[in-house]
Every structure is written in structure tokens, then in C-alpha cells.
Chain A
Amino acid sequence: MVTQKNGAQIAIQTLKYISLLIAVFVILFPPYIIVVNSFKTKEEFLNNPTLSLPDNFLNFSNFIHAFKQADMGLAFGNTLIIIALTLILNIFLGSAFCYAVGRFDFRGKGLIVGLFLFATIIPQITTQVVNFKTIQGIGLTNNLLGPVLLYIGADIMQIYIYLQFIRNIPNELDESAMLEGASLFRIYRSIIFPLLAPATATIVILKTIAIYNDMFTPYLYLPRQEHVVVSTSLMRFFGVNSGDWQMVSSAIMIIMIPTAILYLFLQRYIFAGVTSGAVK
């Protein structure tokens, strides 16, 4: 009886691992293909099987070619500018807003919070038809500030994360600071904002990844070569080199690696953000 139960348990345990290993295989197989082929020369690629390892893992010529031809230096620069500006504005506007809404009661507060909540239902992609005209109207098409404005205006993830977090900062801190004569602005700056740091870290990482991975906004609002960002640089590179998979593979690698590294080192904040955003 005991051995039978153990036998069944071992079988179940084994099945669990087998299913996980299948999942791991399915997930790693496509990137594996990209990695091995990005190091192959054109001849190697044509003569050797797709799944084979490259002759030389130090053959970086595809990467150098892709980086230059796709203008990735410029693309990474533009992407960084957009990310930096968006983050600075987002963090200050978002944390200040949540301080006002999370700490004080005033007329219309319920309505304001409700407006922010309800806005998540509106699919952002549907409003593009009008938003495009708005951005055009302010003269910000073909300007890195256009996407910045859309990223801070239409995405409200940071509001949720901050609002949730600020509730867990005890009110007594504010009260004792008030007794000592600190102004409310000072309280926000010296007490609340620093204590929001973990939430800020989560927002920084999630937003960085979201903007880095966005294709639609730059494609629509930044069509000129001088404003190329990572997503659009890869699209253009593919347009010129399609079929040259060893070349395309190296370009894909260059684009994928930054967020993958960010993920490996900062996974704690990413998981915290994803779950707090979703389970709210």
C-alpha cells in the first residue's frame, strides 16, 4: 500500500517535470536558433543545417554589419531619450497626483479616481485615429516629444501602482512632520516621495520595457530615419535583408538582449509590478 502510493507520487512528480521540460524546450527553441545562426557566415548558413552550432562563436561580423546598417546607435539613443523624458515626467506627475488623491479628501475626488479607473477600459489602439490628429495639431509629429506625450498621457499604470503603495505608508509620518512645522509640499518631497522608492523602481522598469518594446507609436508618429527607435530600426533592417536569416538573427539578438539582461537582474521588481498591477 505504502509503496504503491509512493510509486504513484513518483509518477506524478515525473510527469510534472516532463511537462515543465517541454515548456522550457518550446520557449528556448526559437531563441536558440537565433543565437546559433547569428554567428554564422553566409556560406556556413547556406551549407550547414539550421540547427547546427556555428564554427566560430567569436564571429561578430554580422552584429557589426547589422548595428551599422540598421543605424542602431541612433536608434538606441532616440529610444533612451524617449524613455528618460517619459520616466521623469511620469514619476513626478504620477507620485504628486497620488499624494494629493491618496492623502486628502476633497470634493470630486471620487469622480477623478473613477475617471482614471474607467479609462483603462478604452482600448488605446482605437483612440489613435483621433490622437494622431491631436499630436499633429500640436505640431509634434516627427518629434520625439510626440510619443513622450502619448506615453505619459494615455498610460496610467503608474497611478495604480503609486495609489496602492501610498496607502501602506502610515499617516502618522505626515502628522508628526506637520507638528514639526513642515509644509505639505515638503512632506511630499522629503517623506512621501522617498518612501515611494520601491514603487518608483517598479514603474521605471516596467515602463522602460514597455516603451522599448512598443512598435506602433514610433511607427506611426516617427516615420523619419533621423527619429528611428529600436523597434522601427529592426523593421527597416528586415525590409532590406529579409531572407538573410543569419544577418536578421544578429539584429534580433541586439534588440532582445538589453531587456533580457534588465529582466535577469531586476526580476524581483518586474514580478512585483506585474502582480500588483493585475491583482489590484
Chain B
Amino acid sequence: MLSHLSFRKQKTIIMILFTVVPLLLLLTFAYYPAVELVRLSFTNWDGLSPDKQWIGWENYKEVFSNPEIFGVFKHNLAYFVVGIVQNLLAIYFAVLLNSKLRGKLFFRLLLFLPYILNGVAVAYLFGYVFDTTQGSLNTVLGVFGLPSETSWLGSESFVNYTLASIGLWRFMGFNMVVYLAALQSIPKDIYEAAAIDGASGWQSFVRITLPNIYQIIELNLFLTVTGALEVFDIPFVLTHGGPAGASETFVMKILETAFQFNNYGLASAMSVVLLVLVVAVLGVQRYFLNKGRG
């Protein structure tokens, strides 16, 4: 089609033709909103009216001084704690599945399964598990003679841990598969050499395995922290933030502020705060892990 043109000209055409649309989309749906968020965060825009009044730092003052807003991060903490446990389990099972074992592929298949299931379906699935009267968890506890009337989703003190445990069920296998891929890329002869030198299993884990999966731990940690900061769908579907707002997350607050209360200015400021937090987490993590690596 273009073969009568010189390769130079063809190259120019392809460069422009093939990159312009993806680039436009990226700018429209990733960078423009990021910039626009910052601008809106200094206004009191209601999402509808044409005028956006500049109100300076008011929205940010509101975010940090109103415990109803910034205090919500308390709830996100549960997801972080459970996320760490999730990573430890993932490393443990990845190491197991990387060792000599029958049925490795079967176990990998099964442990990863929850990750590909529909999130809404998973939420209701656990709605049933955690149901107080008809729920299967309480039924099983009853069989073992344990207290079986716990209201798992109705208790303000641990509803977030209940919800976060659903996240563990869902994502542990994903973390594990990522760790496993990293483990499999470590050459086997290093372990053999260490074994000949008399290293114990634990020693080779600490001295060989961990340093070799450092970057992957870093990646998974980043995903865990940002995942905890951004958690949304399971509590939204299952508890709607209840009981009495005890399981509201920061992202739920943002969406409620924008789409229910039409306070786009405040919602934008909250989004900017979240964005800055995510970038800060990445920065801090980079700094410490690079330092730790020497």
C-alpha cells in the first residue's frame, strides 16, 4: 500500500499514525484528569454549575480536619494488616510449590482460582459465609462447639477485618503466583552449591531466596499498600459502609462526596490526597529498599 514511498517517509507515517490515538487516550483519561483534579480541588464546584469558585486551601483543610473524612483511613488499616499476612502466606505457599511436591500444578490452579472470579459474586458468596443466622461459618463453628452467633459483618470493631479477609481469600493466590514465578527464575545450581557447602534449608532461604526475590517483594508490597488505600468494591457491595459507617473506606467517601453530595471540589481534594499518598508510598519504599540493598 505504501511501498512506493521511501522507508523514511513510511516510518514517519507509521510513527504518527500508530501512536497518536493511544497517546491521546492516555492524555485524556490519565493525565488530564490528574491535572484537572488538582485544579478542581481548589474550587467549590458542585459538578453542574458553569462557575467554579476559587476557594484556596479550604477543601484540603476540610479533608485533614474533619475526622469523618481523614479518619476513615483507620478502616483501611485493617486491609493493610491483613495484606501483610496475605503476603507472608503467599511467600510460604510459593516456596512450598517450588519444592519437590506431588500435585504442584493442581495446588497452584486451585489457590489462584479465587482471583479470576467475579468480585460482586465473591462479595455475596462471603455474605452467605458470614451471615449471622444462616451463615456457613457460624454453622461450622457450632459443629465444633465454638461460639456460633458472631455477627461478622455487623460488628463495628472487626467488620473491616472480616472484609479484609475476603481480600486475602481473593488475592493470596495472585501474590503467590507472582512470587512463584520469581522463585522459579532463580538458578537451581545455586541451591545445590549451597547444600554441598552444608547450608540448611532456612539458611538458603534467607541467603539465596530472599535476596533474589527482593524486587518482587517490593512490587507486592506496593500493591498491598496501594490496594489497602484504594479498597472499594467488597465493602461497597456487601456492607454499603455499615454498620454505622464503620466499614466505609476512603474511596467510598470520595465517590459519595462527588456523586451523591455533588461536592466535586472536596471530592477532588480527597482524590489528590490519595494520589499523593500512593506516590509517597512508592517513593518511601524505593528509598528504604534501595538503602537496605546497600
Contact = CB atoms under 8 A, between A and B. Distances in A.
A271 B226 CA distance: 23
Interface string A116-139: 100101110111111111100000
B74 interface: no
A215 B237 contact: yes
A274 B109 CA distance: 13
B13 to A, nearest CB: 8
A160 interface: no
B22 A93 contact: yes
B30 A122 contact: yes
B161 to A, nearest CB: 16
User: Chain A's interface: helix, strand, loop or mixed, by majority?
Assistant: helix
Nearest to A24: B110
B197 interface: no
Interface residues of A, number: 89
Nearest to A210: B116
Nearest to B103: A20
Given A133-B47, A234-B120, A275-B177, A127 B14 contact: no
B125 A152 contact: no
Nearest to B21: A93
A260 B113 contact: yes
B118 A212 contact: yes
B11 A104 contact: yes
B170 to A, nearest CB: 10
A11 interface: no
B3 A50 contact: no
Interface string B104-116: 0001111111101
A57 interface: no
A136 to B, nearest CB: 9
B232 interface: yes
Contact of B128 (A27, A121, A248): A248
B1 interface: yes
B84 interface: no
B230 A123 contact: yes
Interface string B216-259: 10010000001001101100010000000000000100110011
B33 A131 contact: yes
A61 interface: no
B169 interface: yes
B15 A185 contact: no
Given A112-B23, A184-B14, A256-B117, A216 B29 contact: no
A249 B128 contact: yes
A128 B18 contact: no
Nearest to B219: A278
B124 to A, nearest CB: 6
Nearest to B5: A183
Nearest to B233: A215
Contacts of A132: 258-259
A186 B29 contact: no
Contacts of B230: 123, 125-126
A153 B31 CA distance: 11
B139 A49 contact: yes
A134 B33 contact: yes
Contacts of B25: 93, 149, 152-154
Contacts of B274: 123, 126
Nearest to A216: B233
Interface string B1-41: 11101010011001101110111011111111110110010
Interface stretch (A30-38, A80-88, A165-173, A196-204): A30-38
B10 A33 contact: no
Contacts of A93: 21-22, 25
Interface string A246-260: 001100100110011
A144 interface: no
Nearest to A130: B33
A127 B268 CA distance: 9
A30 B136 contact: yes
Interface in B67-125: 92-93, 96, 99, 101, 107-114, 116-121, 124-125
A67 B226 CA distance: 36
24 contacts: A27-B113, A33-B136, A100-B18, A100-B19, A106-B15, A119-B31, A123-B274, A126-B37, A127-B29, A128-B255, A129-B40, A129-B271, A134-B28, A153-B29, A178-B7, A185-B10, A186-B2, A213-B117, A215-B120, A238-B127, A248-B124, A260-B117, A270-B116, A275-B181
Interface of A: 16, 19-20, 23-24, 26-31, 33-34, 37, 49-51, 93-94, 96-97, 99-101, 104, 106, 112, 115-116, 119, 121-123, 125-134, 149-150, 152-154, 156, 159, 178, 181-186, 188, 209, 212-216, 220, 230-232, 234-235, 238, 245, 248-249, 252, 255-256, 259-260, 262-264, 267, 270-271, 274-275, 278-279
7 closest pairs, A vs B, by CB? A130-B33, A127-B33, A153-B29, A275-B181, A153-B25, A100-B18, A126-B271
